[in-house]
């Protein structure tokens, strides 16, 4: 075990984007990074233990001790490389909605792992493969953590050697729109509604749509409506989020490529031009039975970043 003093004075800032997973047919495989960000500041302190300040989303709700998910991710990374975690002060500025299908838990995990990477600079080298493996160990599946780490559109898959990913650049004509409701959805509950097996024809249907979706997102946005059709997961979860299901059906009837964002209950619309987003937002505002916040977001192409904080004395 390394001694804590080797980390004395170290401090980093981390930025992590929101993500949306599945994108309709790409269940547990496809993910997209969105330009909405959580920020984290971590400073090594002389005393052992941790302090956590949370501002914005989750303030007064999420734990502010060692059970905080960001702290657990930092500790997990230090332990994975045989390093003793020093005492830390954390300040989290959260913007990503919690429990809405926009990757908030994945963002917290990635925040912690990137913070640990920054604090371990020069002591342990964490490459992209190691970062994805650590994040997947904690999240359970790579579809959210891959785009959070690397940005853009990601294809993630599991191998005997661990999780892998491929990052793709999204066509500049693709304009994401996310509708966020006031109510939340448990990812565990959403997953529990999935059947153990699906009909062969449904599997073949989703294989064709997933392949088409890659082409639509990187080359042919005009195919997005057809490419986002799904028979593997959204219909099974519909009873748990009836308003989400109703609005998605309405949007699709009007020609919008609308899907459940992650496990829901937020709705993702993959528009092919900015004007289409405005029309979709007007439709939901008119037809929704409960309040929905419309977020017109860009695709994030950079992914999570970590940078050292240079002290005034050092500067």
For residues 274 and 286, give the distance between their C-alpha atoms in angstroms, rounded to a whole number. Answer: 19
Same domain, 185 and 156: no
Residue 288 lies in a domain: yes
The reply to whether 105 sits in an annotated binding site is yes
Q: What's the CATH number where 225 sits? A: 3.30.70.890
| pLDDT tens, per residue, the chain with 315 residues | 444 447 989 999 999 999 999 999 998 899 999 999 999 999 999 999 999 999 999 999 999 999 999 999 999 999 999 999 999 999 999 999 999 999 999 999 999 999 999 999 999 999 999 999 999 999 999 999 999 999 999 999 999 999 999 999 999 999 999 999 998 866 666 566 666 777 888 889 989 999 999 999 999 999 999 999 998 777 777 788 999 999 999 999 999 999 999 989 999 999 998 899 999 999 999 999 999 999 999 999 999 999 999 875 444
The answer to whether the annotation marks 99 as part of a ligand binding site is yes
Residue 146 annotated as part of some ligand binding site: no
Same domain, 154 and 181: no
Whether 97 has a binding-site annotation, put simply, is: yes
Contact 311, 44 (CB under 8 A): no
pLDDT of residue 187: 64
pTM of the model: 0.93
Structure tokens at 109: 């995990």
Q: Is 98 annotated as a binding residue?
A: yes
223 is in an annotated binding site: no
Q: Is 101 annotated among the ligand-binding residues?
A: yes
Same domain (yes/no): 36, 155: yes
Known binding residue 197? Answer is no
Q: At what angle are helices 274-287 and 242-253 packed, to 10 degrees?
A: 130
> In total, how many domains does the chain have?
2
Distance CA(229)–CA(225), nearest Å, equals: 7
Range of 126's domain?
A: 4-168+300-308
CATH number of the domain to which 105 belongs = 3.30.230.10
Do residues 281 and 304 share a domain?
no
- Check whether residue 152 and residue 244 sit in a common domain: no
Q: Tell whether residue 103 is among the known ligand binding residues.
A: yes
The verdict on whether residue 106 carries a ligand-binding annotation is: yes
């Amino acid at each position: 075990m390394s001694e804590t003093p080797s980390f004395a004075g170290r401090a980093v800032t981390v930025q992590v984007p929101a993500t949306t997973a599945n994108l309709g047919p790409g269940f547990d495989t496809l993910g997209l990074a969105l330009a909405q960000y959580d920020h984290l500041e971590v400073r090594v302190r002389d005393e052992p233990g941790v302090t956590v300040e949370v501002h914005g989303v989750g303030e007064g709700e999420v734990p502010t001790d060692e059970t905080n998910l960001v702290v657990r991710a930092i500790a997990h990374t230090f332990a994975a490389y045989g390093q003793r975690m020093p005492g830390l002060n954390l300040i989290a500025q959260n913007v990503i909605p919690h429990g809405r299908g926009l990757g908030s838990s994945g963002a917290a995990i990635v925040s912690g792992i990137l913070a640990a990477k920054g604090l371990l600079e020069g002591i342990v080298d964490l490459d992209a493969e190691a970062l994805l493996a650590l994040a997947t160990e904690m999240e359970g599946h790579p579809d959210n953590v891959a785009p959070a780490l690397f940005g853009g559109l990601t294809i993630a898959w599991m191998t005997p050697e661990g999780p892998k990913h491929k990052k793709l650049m999204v066509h500049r004509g693709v304009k994401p729109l996310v509708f966020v409701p006031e109510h939340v959805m448990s990812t565990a509950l959403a997953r529990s509604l999935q059947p153990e097996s699906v009909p062969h024809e449904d599997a073949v249907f989703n294989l064709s749509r997933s392949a088409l979706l890659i082409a639509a997102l990187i080359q042919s946005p005009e195919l997005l409506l057809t490419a986002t059709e799904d028979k593997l997961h959204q219909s099974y979860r519909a009873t748990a989020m009836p308003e989400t299901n109703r609005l998605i059906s309405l949007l699709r009837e009007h020609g919008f490529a609308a899907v459940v964002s992650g496990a829901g209950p937020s709705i993702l619309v993959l528009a092919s031009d900015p004007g289409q987003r405005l029309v979709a937002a007007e439709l939901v505002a008119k037809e929704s039975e409960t309040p929905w916040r419309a977020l017109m977001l860009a695709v994030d192409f950079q992914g999570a970043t970590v940078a050292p904080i240079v002290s005034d004395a050092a500067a």
